[in-house]
C-alpha cells in the first residue's frame, strides 16, 4: 500500500474536522448529505449513526471505507462523534469533542492488518457553515489544534509508546472554504492561516538502540487552494479524473522556521539544526498542464556527528525551483518552463580548509541559476497509464523539443563568474546533421570573468600543472575574445542552418 494513498485517506478524515466552506438557509441534514455525496464521489463508503434532537444532528461512529487500488485491501477511518447544530438563521455549526480519537485501519494489506489512532484536541474552536445546499461556505477558527499519534496496532501487537511519538500543533488558525456545485464538478476555493505550526516526532527501534527525533516550528503559515473535483471519479485513474474536470492550484508559505534533528544509529550519534527566513511551495494540475515550485530564503544548516571530523555549517541565501510543463498530446508545440536557482551558497572555514588550507581561493558566496523557457510537442498523454507503459518500453522519446530560450545562466564560485543568454530552435525532421538529436539553430552569448585568476590559483594549489594549463588557455583564446574588464572574456556561440558551429563568427566545426 502506497504512502500517497494513506496520506489521502488521512486527509479525507481531517477534512470533516478542519475544512471550511459556505452555504445559505441550510439544515443539518443538508450539510451531512453533501458530505456523504462528496465522500462517495471520491470512492469512500460512508456509514454511521444519525440522531436528530431538537436543532442538533448527532453523528456517531462515522466510518469511511475505501478499497486500496490494485491491492486486495481496504482502509477505513472511524470518527467516533460530532454534531451539526442549526442556529436558526440559516447557518449550521459543526462541533466535535476534545479530545477526539480518529482511528485509521488497514485490512488485508501486504504487510498484514494494522491500525493507528490520531487524537485531535482543540481549544477556542468554532466552525460555521452558511449558504445553501449547492453553494456552501465553511468559516473556521481555533486558538489551538493539536494532532497526536495514539495507539498503533500492527497485526494484533500494540507498539510501546516510546517506539513512535508524533505531535503536530497549530496556534491561532483561521480559514474559509467555499464549495459550489456546478454541473459535473464541485468547485472549491480555500484559504487558511496559522500564527505558528510546531511538530515533535521521535522513533525508536524496539530491537536495538537506534533512535531518532525531529522537532521544530514554522511561523506565519498560510495556505490557499482552488480547483474542481468531479462528482464521480476514480482515484486510481488520474488521466480519467483530469478528463472529467479535476483541477487544482495550491500554495503553502511561511515567514520563518527552525528544526532540530537528533539520532543514533549503529552506536553513533548525529545531530543537525536548521533555520530559515521563510519559504513557499506551489503546485497546479489540470487536464493540460502540471506546475510545481519551491522557494526558500535565508536557510542555515549546521550538523555534527561521529562520522564528521568537525561541525559542518552551510548557508543558502535564496533557493528557487520551478517546472511548468504540458502533460497532454498536441499537434502543436506547447510552452514549458524550468528554473533552478541556488543563490549565495556559503560554508564554514573548516570545510574550505579541507581542499584549500592556504586560502588561495576567494571564499565569496557561490551561486547557480538556470532559467529556461521553450516549446515542446508531446506525442502522448503523460498521465495515461498506457502511455507510461509505452514510454518505458519504447526507445522513441515521448515528445519533440522545438525551441529553448536560455533566459538566464549564471555560475559563480571561487572568484570566477560565467553568465549567458541565448535561444535555439530545433528541426525534428533533421536527425542526421547531428546524429541522434534534432538539428539546432540559434546562438548563445557568454561572458566569463575571473577565469585566468582562477587558473593561477589552481596552479598555486598544485591541483593542475603549468603544462596542463596551456591547452586551457589556448582553448579560451580560440573560443573567446577580450571582454570589458582586465580578466574578462566574451564568446558568441552560433549554430547555423547548415549545422555549422561558429565562435565569434569563426567556424570551428
* Confidence bin at 213 (pLDDT 50/70/90): very high
Give me the pLDDT at residue 441, please: 96
Give CA separation, 43 vs 27, 33, 69, in Å: 25, 16, 11
Q: Residue 317: is it exposed, middle or buried by C-beta count within 10 angstroms (0-12/13-18/19+)?
A: middle
In the predicted model, is pLDDT for residue 449 greater than 90?
yes
User: Which one-letter DSSP state was computed for residue 499?
Assistant: -
Task: Compute the CA torsion angle 264, 267, 268, 269 (nearest 10 deg).
Answer: 30
Task: Pick the more confident residue, 110 or 333.
Answer: 333
Give me the pLDDT at residue 471, please: 84
Give me the pLDDT at residue 73, please: 80
User: Which one-letter DSSP state was computed for residue 442?
Assistant: E
HSE-up (13 A, CA, CB side) for residue 441:
12
Give me the pLDDT at residue 46, please: 94
**Are the C-beta atoms of residues 420 and 406 closer than 8 Å to each other?**
yes
Which pLDDT tens digit goes with each residue over 159-204? 888 899 999 999 999 999 999 988 889 999 999 999 999 999 999 9
| Alpha-carbon span 361 to 303, nearest angstrom | 24
Which pLDDT tens digit goes with each residue over 222-258? 999 999 999 888 877 888 899 999 999 999 999 999 9
In the predicted model, is pLDDT for residue 360 greater than 80?
yes
Task: Pick the more confident residue, 119 or 480.
Answer: 119
Give CA separation, 135 vs 23, 178, 187, 189, 483, in Å: 5, 7, 9, 11, 64
Give me the pLDDT at residue 499, please: 86
Which pLDDT tens digit goes with each residue over 47-92? 999 999 999 999 999 999 988 776 778 889 999 999 999 999 999 9
In the predicted model, is pLDDT for residue 443 greater than 80?
yes
Task: Pick the more confident residue, 477 or 116.
Answer: 116
| Alpha-carbon span 6 to 392, nearest angstrom | 27
Query: What is the mean predicted confidence (pLDDT) over 7-11?
Result: 45
Grid coordinates belonging to 102: 480518529
* Confidence bin at 10 (pLDDT 50/70/90): very low
* Confidence bin at 217 (pLDDT 50/70/90): very high
To the nearest 10 degrees (0 to 180), the angle between helices 466-479 and 451-461 is 170
Task: Pick the more confident residue, 167 or 41.
Answer: 167
Give me the pLDDT at residue 260, please: 97
Query: What is the mean predicted confidence (pLDDT) over 104-123?
Result: 88
Give me the pLDDT at residue 96, please: 92
Q: Can you tell me whether residue 112 is helix, strand or coil?
A: coil
Amino acid at each position: 500500500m502506497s504512502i500517497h494513498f494513506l496520506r489521502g485517506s488521512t486527509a479525507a478524515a481531517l477534512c470533516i474536522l478542519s475544512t471550511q466552506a459556505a452555504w445559505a438557509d441550510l439544515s443539518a441534514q443538508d450539510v451531512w448529505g453533501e458530505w456523504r455525496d462528496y465522500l462517495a464521489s471520491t470512492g469512500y463508503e460512508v456509514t454511521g449513526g444519525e440522531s436528530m434532537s431538537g436543532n442538533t444532528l448527532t453523528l456517531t461512529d462515522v466510518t469511511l471505507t475505501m478499497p486500496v487500488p490494485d491491492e486486495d485491501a481496504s482502509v477505513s477511518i472511524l470518527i467516533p462523534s460530532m454534531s451539526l447544530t442549526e442556529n436558526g438563521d440559516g447557518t449550521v455549526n459543526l462541533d466535535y469533542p476534545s479530545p477526539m480519537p480518529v482511528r485509521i485501519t488497514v485490512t488485508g494489506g501486504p504487510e498484514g492488518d494494522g491500525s493507528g489512532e490520531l487524537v485531535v484536541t482543540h481549544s477556542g474552536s468554532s466552525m460555521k457553515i452558511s449558504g445553501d445546499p449547492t453553494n456552501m461556505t465553511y468559516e473556521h477558527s481555533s486558538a489551538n489544534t493539536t494532532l497526536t499519534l495514539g495507539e498503533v496496532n500492527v497485526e494484533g501487537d500494540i507498539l510501546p509508546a516510546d517506539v513512535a511519538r508524533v505531535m503536530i500543533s497549530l496556534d491561532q488558525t483561521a480559514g474559509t472554504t467555499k464549495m459550489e456545485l456546478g454541473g459535473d464538478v464541485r468547485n472549491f476555493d480555500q484559504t487558511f492561516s496559522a500564527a505558528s505550526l510546531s511538530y515533535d516526532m521521535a522513533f525508536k527501534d524496539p530491537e536495538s538502540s537506534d533512535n531518532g527525533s525531529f522537532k521544530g516550528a514554522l511561523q506565519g503559515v498560510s495556505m490557499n487552494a482552488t480547483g474542481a473535483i468531479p462528482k464521480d471519479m476514480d482515484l486510481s485513474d488520474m488521466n480519467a479524473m483530469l478528463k472529467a474536470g479535476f483541477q487544482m492550484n495550491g500554495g503553502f508559505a511561511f515567514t520563518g522556521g527552525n528544526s532540530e534533528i537528533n539520532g543514533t544509529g549503529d552506536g553513533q550519534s548525529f545531530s543537525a539544526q536548521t533555520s530559515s527566513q521563510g519559504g513557499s511551495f506551489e503546485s497546479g494540475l489540470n487536464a493540460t498542464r502540471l506546475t510545481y515550485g519551491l522557494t526558500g530564503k535565508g536557510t542555515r544548516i549546521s550538523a555534527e556527528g561521529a562520522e564528521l571530523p568537525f561541525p559542518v555549517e552551510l548557508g543558502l541565501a535564496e533557493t528557487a525551483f520551478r517546472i511548468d510543463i504540458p502533460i497532454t498530446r498536441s499537434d502543436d508545440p506547447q510552452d514549458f518552463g524550468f528554473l533552478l536557482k541556488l543563490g549565495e551558497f556559503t560554508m564554514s572555514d573548516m570545510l574550505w580548509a579541507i581542499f584549500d588550507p592556504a586560502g588561495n581561493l576567494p571564499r565569496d558566496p557561490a551561486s547557480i541559476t538556470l532559467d529556461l523557457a521553450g516549446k515542446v510537442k508531446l506525442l502522448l498523454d503523460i498521465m495515461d497509464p498506457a502511455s507510461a507503459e509505452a514510454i518505458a518500453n519504447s526507445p522513441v522519446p515521448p515528445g519533440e523539443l522545438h525551441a529553448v530560450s536560455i533566459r538566464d545562466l549564471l555560475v559563480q564560485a571561487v572568484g570566477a563568474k560565467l553568465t549567458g543568454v541565448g535561444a535555439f530552435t530545433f528541426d525534428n525532421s533533421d536527425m542526421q546533421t547531428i546524429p541522434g538529436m534534432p538539428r539546432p539553430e540559434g546562438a548563445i552569448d557568454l561572458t566569463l570573468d575571473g577565469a585566468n585568476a582562477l587558473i593561477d590559483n589552481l596552479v598555486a594549489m598544485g591541483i593542475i600543472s603549468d603544462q596542463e594549463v596551456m591547452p586551457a588557455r589556448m582553448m579560451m583564446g580560440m573560443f573567446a575574445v577580450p571582454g570589458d574588464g582586465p580578466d574578462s572574456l566574451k564568446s558568441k556561440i552560433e549554430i547555423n542552418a547548415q549545422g555549422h558551429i561558429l565562435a565569434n563568427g569563426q567556424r570551428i566545426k
